[in-house]
Chains A and B, each alone.
Chain A
């Protein structure tokens, strides 16, 4: 009986670890291999503070959370600059450094001996010294930790994390500060993992470095993959299966050394088999998340996302003498452009003329080598892309960059401006504010989808849309930022004429409502049919500008364009 209860305690501890790891891997797409180190920080903090300083529960646990969060921030630091394989290797390095410290800082950690005699937690004078007595506390703490993880994952902040996972540049382009998000999620994940460490130290009453090595990280990773990335319930299930399953090996008569190795082989094989047969895990991310939208929502128009403004042609954006070179190659030089409220400006020119580079310069995705961008009279060049979006200037991408494994509704919802739910303070301490905001934002998102005609696909995953629908969703997402200036990079390319005709009025209506619009376009019919003004770019320079008719009629430009 006690053995069974022991297994349940271990399930609770590993559920915390798998859930917090899932926040990094599954929700944020940050593949870090240092999770066992966070676990260890929690365990050692508890062991050291209880045995060395006599600090009672729960104080060491709380200190551990803080320390692990700091370590998490330190690990998150390089993640700001590098991704993919680099992040893997650097987190692995920190994992190894952590174990080296546990083994070698003998005066603090007991070295290879570890730290024994961690006192039992006493509640109302009763020591929790058996699995049965410890279990309720373990389950309670695990529930609390998983609640914290769930709250984060299900909040608007969690939605932004998933957007970042799907496409970092696009997340920036809807105004998300991905730098801050990465640091926060690393700190949160590490903090939660350290709670498991604190519990573990009290329960086993002994800590040593061997419990926190890379093998443990892989063990937790197997739980996350088995259960399903991006699904916390899956992590609990994965933890339960992978804690229970190896116990079955105990019924086979094997030397303990071989049994331990077989256990590891099992994790490895489970990882490979799951990835081959069911990479989304036992409980996939999206089953529970399909949007249920009350009918009729969002029928009351765009509201504050497109406040009526005079389409008076006043200049809102001034790009002046912009220059950008890569290595020795100048992509754009001496480029100046004025964008006006209520007007649609077309940027045309042959392939490689520097049109997209010009967009990147205007929206902060590239820093100009020279020149300035002014928006409503203040300089925005040099500011971060998300900052410029929040100021009111947003762009779309030629290659769409949709958040593919998110619903159409979430693609739009994540882009809505100034969400209080993007801050963890609101998520944890003012949940009702976030709830009210979410209700309101659901309506606003639906209004945007109605505006482009995608309200019927709200619950669909973006990756299941047709090409034409994808293009519409790009427009919807851009619109949802509420920005005053909208820069469309080839919004109509690859569409058949019929669909194109359907999108024309959408863009025109936006201009009539006072948005400042600039589009990159190859199709001269579109330029003629849509734009009030056209700017011709070739070899990084502005060759000419004027009304579309005048430019198209110019034989010199025509030759350049069709050469």
Chain B
């Protein structure tokens, strides 16, 4: 029973991580409909930006984290302006944009590897507090992961509901064509979406850096889990991405109750496969097609 409790807690923690990834991805995918694979390496840019600020510039961790967030937001915005926007202007098909995105994915990931090397980068001198709650063990970084989701979700919620930009973004997510007709500057909204979404992605990336370190490869699983959270929850639904993230995190960890650890990541994919097979619109999404 204790094991199940611990797994459940781990599930909630991982779920918060996935939910955050899903929100960031969803903010970009919702209005632009771009299957942004390069979200993965841009996630990694957040982590490496933070690491470099600590290791090379000697910044304190909070300031370095901010630098990481800004770096990711910058690269995200540039990826839209330099890569996706020209394809959009030419009216390229989704498929073409998707392949280009894969191209950027593999380019960025390997550039990170060339610049930083493939060894795991950790922030030195960091020892997270460990809390014992009865039979359950958690670390301060894990608590940060949960808190980050709560904080960012609330902030984003306010942004999407209250601010002009946020409302425009929601309108475009709802119906891009209509948004354009009523005079929303869709290019600007897309740019905002890329900047905000990438900034959001940097937060879980930095927490992973503090928790277990950064590798150039870390982005692949991140973009994948983000995608899974969005699809499980249902495309176009902010709430869905959060619930999707938690669903995947909890299922994945509970699965470990009976399965050996090395199969953990496979569980999420099997869940995804089954959901797409039987309920392609996701648990909370609108109808597909």
Contact = CB atoms under 8 A, between A and B. Distances in A.
Residue among B100, B118, B265, B270 with max Cβ neighbours from chain A (10 Å) = B100
B220 interface: yes
Contacts of B260: 104
Interface string B261-284: 011011001101100110010000
Interface residues of A, number: 42
A46 B35 CA distance: 36
B147 to A, nearest CB: 29
A268 B110 contact: yes
A267 interface: yes
Interface in A76-96: 77-78, 81-86, 88-90, 92-94, 96
Interface in A239-286: 257-258, 261-262, 264-265, 267-272, 275-276, 279
A221 interface: yes
Contacts of A257: 118
Contacts of B99: 221, 225, 271, 275
Interface in B200-235: 220, 224, 227-228, 231
A103 interface: yes
Which range holds the interface residue count of chain B?
35 or more
B106 A81 contact: no
A218 B99 CA distance: 9
Contacts of A299: none
A81 B276 contact: yes
A31 interface: yes
B106 A218 contact: yes
A271 B106 CA distance: 10
A215 B107 CA distance: 11
B288 interface: yes
Contact of A265 (B98, B114, B227): B114
Interface stretch (B1-9, B89-97, B180-188, B237-245): B89-97
A225 B102 CA distance: 12
A215 B114 CA distance: 16
A94 B86 CA distance: 32
Given A88-B98, A89-B272, A257-B118, A81 B107 contact: no
A78 B224 CA distance: 18
Contact of A97 (B87, B108, B269): B269
Contact of B263 (A29, A100, A214): A100
A77 B278 CA distance: 11
Interface in B80-139: 83, 86-87, 92, 94-96, 98-100, 102-111, 113-114, 118
B276 A82 contact: yes
Nearest to B106: A268
Contacts of B109: 264
B55 to A, nearest CB: 20
B106 A267 contact: yes
A218 B110 contact: no
Contacts of A225: 99
A193 B265 CA distance: 26
B118 to A, nearest CB: 7
The prevalent SS among residues of A at the interface is helix
Given A261-B114, A272-B107, A279-B92, A86 B269 contact: no
B96 A279 contact: yes
A184 to B, nearest CB: 19
A277 to B, nearest CB: 11
Contacts of A268: 102-108, 110
Given A82-B280, A85-B35, A218 B107 contact: no
Contacts of A94: 269, 273
Contacts of A271: 99-100, 102-103, 106
Contact of B102 (A77, A218, A265): A218
Residue among B83, B92, B111, B273 with max Cβ neighbours from chain A (10 Å) = B273
A246 to B, nearest CB: 13
A34 to B, nearest CB: 12
A267 B95 CA distance: 18
Nearest to A83: B289
A545 B156 CA distance: 57
Contacts of B94: 84-85
B248 to A, nearest CB: 12
Interface string A218-230: 1001100100000
Contacts of B118: 257
A97 B270 CA distance: 8
A264 B110 contact: yes
Contacts of A31: 95, 98
A81 B266 CA distance: 22
Nearest to A92: B224
A214 B288 contact: no
A29 B262 CA distance: 34
Residue among A86, A262, A270, A279 with max Cβ neighbours from chain B (10 Å) = A86
B220 A78 contact: no
Given A275-B92, A279-B96, 17 more contacts: A78-B273, A81-B276, A82-B276, A82-B288, A85-B94, A88-B98, A90-B273, A93-B273, A96-B266, A96-B269, A100-B266, A218-B103, A261-B114, A264-B110, A271-B100, A272-B104, A276-B100
> What are the 10 A-B residue pairs with the smallest beta carbon separation, nearest first?
A268-B107, A271-B103, A93-B269, A268-B106, A261-B110, A272-B103, A264-B110, A268-B103, A104-B262, A100-B266
Interface of B: 35, 83, 86-87, 92, 94-96, 98-100, 102-111, 113-114, 118, 220, 224, 227-228, 231, 260, 262-263, 265-266, 269-270, 272-273, 276-277, 280, 288-289
23 contacts: A82-B280, A84-B94, A84-B95, A86-B276, A88-B98, A89-B228, A89-B276, A90-B272, A93-B224, A97-B266, A104-B263, A104-B266, A215-B106, A218-B102, A257-B118, A261-B110, A265-B110, A268-B102, A271-B102, A272-B83, A275-B92, A276-B86, A279-B92
